[in-house]
Amino acid sequence: MFNFIIDLFFPKVCSGCHSVLMTNEMVLCTNCRHEMPLTQYYLDSNNQAVKKFYGKVDVEHASAFLYFNKKGIVQELIHNLKYKGHEEIGTVLGNWYAEDLKELKLENTFDAVIPVPLHPRKFKERGYNQVTTFGKALAESLKIPFDDTVLYRKKYSKTQSKKNLLGRSENIENIFDVYVSEENQNKHFLIVDDVLTTGATLEACSRALLKISGAKISIVCMAMANS
């Protein structure tokens, strides 16, 4: 009854289009679920996400779940996830994508899901890392551990803007490091991030993780620009 009253005054709205959700709808309305621009990259071992890392890092698997189009549903979702505290969006996307990845029978090949870390200062400002719920949902569905302790960020980097695009890979190269321990050796790390753009951040994360002996890298992002 109480929930009903709350819903009456504060109806839950779709994170994609802001229409009021039906009682059987969670986070996204049925319409938005049908409209989601799925890349299907996971089915193609030579997809656009893999190509971002050619000649830079050896990745076992790389894919992005959705196309990121300006002013589309996905931009709205990522915005709500990143700046409006709607962490449940990450859970929905993670659970959804895990079902796709299970088709590849990849679940037994990964040893840990590693989120791209936020700098502690940014974490304090935002209160959460926007990739945590996505990574945890993937980890839980694929039955592998989620580990946000191996990889960490050393320096504060300002929000990346177009202005510093050129100097970015140099800036970013040394901002990540890892805790090397014996139990981290010989592992296949699945790094997760929100939007894949230049790939510079993920490349830097991969390089840091590859300092661990026997490490293998795979990458999964929520979205990637459709270009």
Tell me the closest approach of the beta carbon of residue 17 to Zn ion, in angstroms: 3
Give me the sign of the Cα torsion angle 191, 196, 201, 207: positive
- C-beta of 37 vs 128, nearer to Zn ion: 37
Three-class secondary structure assignment of 40-107: CHHHCCCCHHHHCCCCCCCCCEEEEEEEECCCCHHHHHHHHHHHCCCCHHHHHHHHHHHHHHHHCCCC
Kindly state whether residue 180 participates in binding Zn ion, applying the rule CB under 5 A.
Answer: no
Tell me the closest approach of the beta carbon of residue 20 to Zn ion, in angstroms: 10
Tell me the closest approach of the beta carbon of residue 85 to Zn ion, in angstroms: 18
The interface region with Zn ion, picked from 8-16, 89-97, 166-174, 186-194 by CB under 5 A, is: 8-16
Kindly state whether residue 74 participates in binding Zn ion, applying the rule CB under 5 A.
Answer: no
Tell me the closest approach of the beta carbon of residue 29 to Zn ion, in angstroms: 3
Kindly state whether residue 14 participates in binding Zn ion, applying the rule CB under 5 A.
Answer: yes
Tell me the closest approach of the beta carbon of residue 18 to Zn ion, in angstroms: 7
> How, if at all, do strands 176-178 and 151-153 pair?
antiparallel
- C-beta of 17 vs 43, nearer to Zn ion: 17
Give me the sign of the Cα torsion angle 116, 121, 123, 126: negative
Kindly state whether residue 13 participates in binding Zn ion, applying the rule CB under 5 A.
Answer: no
Tell me the closest approach of the beta carbon of residue 7 to Zn ion, in angstroms: 17
Interatomic CA distance for residues 136 and 34, integer angstroms = 24
Interatomic CA distance for residues 8 and 2, integer angstroms = 10
Which residues inside 15-34 make contact with Zn ion, applying CB under 5 A? 16-17, 29, 32
Binding mask 189-208 for Zn ion (x = CB under 5 A): --------------------
Kindly state whether residue 220 participates in binding Zn ion, applying the rule CB under 5 A.
Answer: no
Residue with tokens 């009021």: 20
153 - beta bridge partners?
Answer: 176
User: Can you give the binding site for Zn ion, defined by CB under 5 A?
Assistant: 14, 16-17, 29, 32
